[in-house]
Amino acid sequence: MDERLREAPCGFLSIDRNGYMIEVNKTFLEWMGCKQENLVGKHFESLLTTGNKLVFHSYFYPNINLHGYVEELFINLRNQNGESVPYLMNARRIEQGSIEIIDCVLVQMKKRIDYELELRTTKKQLEEAYIKKDLAFAKLEQIYLEIEKKQIELMEINSGLVKISNTDKLTGIPNRRFFQEKLEEQIEWYRKEQKTFSLLMIDIDHFKKVNDTYGHQIGDIVLAKLANILKNQARPKDIPARFGGEEFTIILPNTDVEEAIAIAQNMNHQVEIAEWKETGSLTISIGAATFTKNDTEESIMKNADQALYASKEMGRNRATHFRELS
Using only the alpha carbons of the chain, give its radius of gyration: 24
Tell me how far apart the alpha carbons of residues 181 and 45 are, in angstroms, rounded to a whole number. 22
Q: Tens digits of per-residue pLDDT, 232-256?
A: 999 999 999 999 999 999 999 999 9
Query: 324 catalytic, yes or no?
Result: no
Catalytic residue among 71, 100, 153, 246: 246
* Region of residue 79 (left: phi > 0; alpha: psi -120 to 50; beta: else): beta
Greater model confidence, 18 or 153 = 18
Tell me how far apart the alpha carbons of residues 294 and 274 are, in angstroms, rounded to a whole number. 38
Helix (H, G, I), strand (E, B) or coil at 173: coil
Task: Specify which residues 95 forms β-bridges with.
Answer: 100
**In the prediction, which pLDDT does 250 show?**
97
Where residue 98 falls among pLDDT bands split at 50, 70, 90?
confident
Where residue 163 falls among pLDDT bands split at 50, 70, 90?
low
**In the prediction, which pLDDT does 160 show?**
58
Q: Tens digits of per-residue pLDDT, 14-58?
A: 999 899 999 999 999 999 999 999 999 999 999 998 778 888 888
* Region of residue 228 (left: phi > 0; alpha: psi -120 to 50; beta: else): alpha
Please state, for a pLDDT cut of 70, what percent of the chain lies above it.
94
Tell me how far apart the alpha carbons of residues 278 and 223 are, in angstroms, rounded to a whole number. 11
Q: Which of 88, 92, 91, 86 lies closest to 107, judged by CA? A: 88
**In the prediction, which pLDDT does 55 show?**
82
Where residue 111 falls among pLDDT bands split at 50, 70, 90?
confident
Cβ(73)–Cβ(60) under 8 Å? yes
Helix (H, G, I), strand (E, B) or coil at 315: coil
